[in-house]
């Protein structure tokens, strides 16, 4: 008799923490209380927030009348919600990606999902925070440094020209490209372990700059 593989839960916190968990129990509770199977120690999470359940039809998540809600693929749910492969459960600052066991046999996770889950460098546009390998960058970047990083981050590895950087970061034409080079230099001093050999902020000679958030090992 062949036993079906257990579903996987890929969990990513806003601070960059990432872990995978096999769903092997009939039920798994999620919440802020330490007695839960999955603990989310965040003030927006209720003590008993939600419950993962095996049903006759497959797998589901149930909101336990939480204060701030349980979301599946950005939509707030009420009561029980059936889960499908790659559905995203959002609770407080945590995203839990459900990986269906049958789909595991048929294929693999999309590359873009794996990249997002394993980003070494992440920019939170709303809070204006930068995380590098899960650690909050302190002190914060200057306004210009953050605007440059935000622009490059939004392009996801694409090359951005100096002309576009001038227009987006300064909001007017900058004829002295030395100002851009100096800004890139300062940003590298903040985000790179070895600024002389950058891992994230890469120069594409003759074209501009690009940001690699998941550089090769």
- CATH label of the domain that carries residue 90: 2.60.200.20
Banded model confidence at residue 35, pLDDT cuts 50, 70, 90: very high
Helix residue spans in 25-122 (DSSP H): 101-106, 111-117
Examine the fold and report which residue of 105, 140, 161 is the final residue of a domain before the chain moves on: 105
**1 falls within a domain:** no
State the residue range of the domain holding 155: 119-211
State what percent of residues in the chain have pLDDT above 90: 57
Q: Within 13 Å and on the Cβ side, how many CA atoms surround 150?
A: 15
Q: How does the average pLDDT of the chain come out, rounded?
A: 87
Domain boundary among 105, 130, 158: 105
* The last residue of a domain, from among 39, 73, 105: 105
Residue 133 lies in a domain: yes
Three-class secondary structure of residue 96 per DSSP: strand
Query: If we measure between CA atoms, which residue out of 118, 129, 131 comes closest to residue 214?
Result: 118
Residue 217 included in any domain? no
Residue 125, phi then psi, degrees to nearest 5: -65, -35
Q: How many domains does the chain have?
A: 2
Whether residue 87 sits in one domain with residue 46: yes
Contact 101, 55 (CB under 8 A): no
- Residues 32 and 101 grouped into a single domain: yes
166 token code pair: 């001038």
Q: Could you tell me whether strands 27-31 and 38-39 are parallel, antiparallel, or unpaired per DSSP bridges?
A: parallel
Least confident range from 4-8, 25-29, 32-36: namely: 4-8
Cβ atoms 74, 90 nearer than 8 A: yes
How far is it, in rounded angstroms, from Cα 41 to Cα 34? 8
Ranking 31-45, 96-110, 122-136, 161-175 by mean pLDDT, the lowest is 96-110
């Amino acid at each position: 008799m062949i036993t079906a593989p257990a579903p996987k839960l890929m969990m990513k916190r806003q601070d960059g923490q990432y872990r995978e968990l096999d769903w092997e129990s009939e039920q798994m509770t999620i919440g802020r209380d330490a007695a839960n199977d999955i603990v989310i120690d965040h003030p927006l999470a209720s003590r008993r927030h939600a419950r993962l359940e095996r049903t006759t039809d497959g797998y589901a998540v149930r909101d336990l009348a939480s204060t701030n809600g349980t979301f599946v693929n950005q939509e707030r749910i009420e009561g029980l919600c059936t889960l499908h492969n790659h559905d995203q459960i959002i609770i407080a600052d945590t995203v839990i990606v459900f990986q269906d066991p049958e789909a595991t046999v048929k294929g693999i996770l999309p590359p873009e999902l794996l990249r997002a889950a394993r980003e070494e460098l992440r920019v939170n546009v709303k809070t204006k925070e930068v995380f590098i390998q899960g650690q909050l960058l302190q002190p914060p970047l200057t306004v210009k440094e953050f605007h440059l990083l935000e622009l490059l981050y939004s392009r996801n590895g694409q090359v951005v020209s100096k002309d576009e950087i001038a227009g987006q970061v300064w909001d007017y034409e900058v004829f002295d490209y030395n100002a851009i080079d100096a800004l890139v230099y300062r940003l590298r001093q903040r985000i790179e372990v070895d600024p002389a050999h950058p891992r994230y902020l890469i120069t594409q000679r003759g074209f501009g700059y690009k940001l690699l958030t998941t550089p090769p090992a």
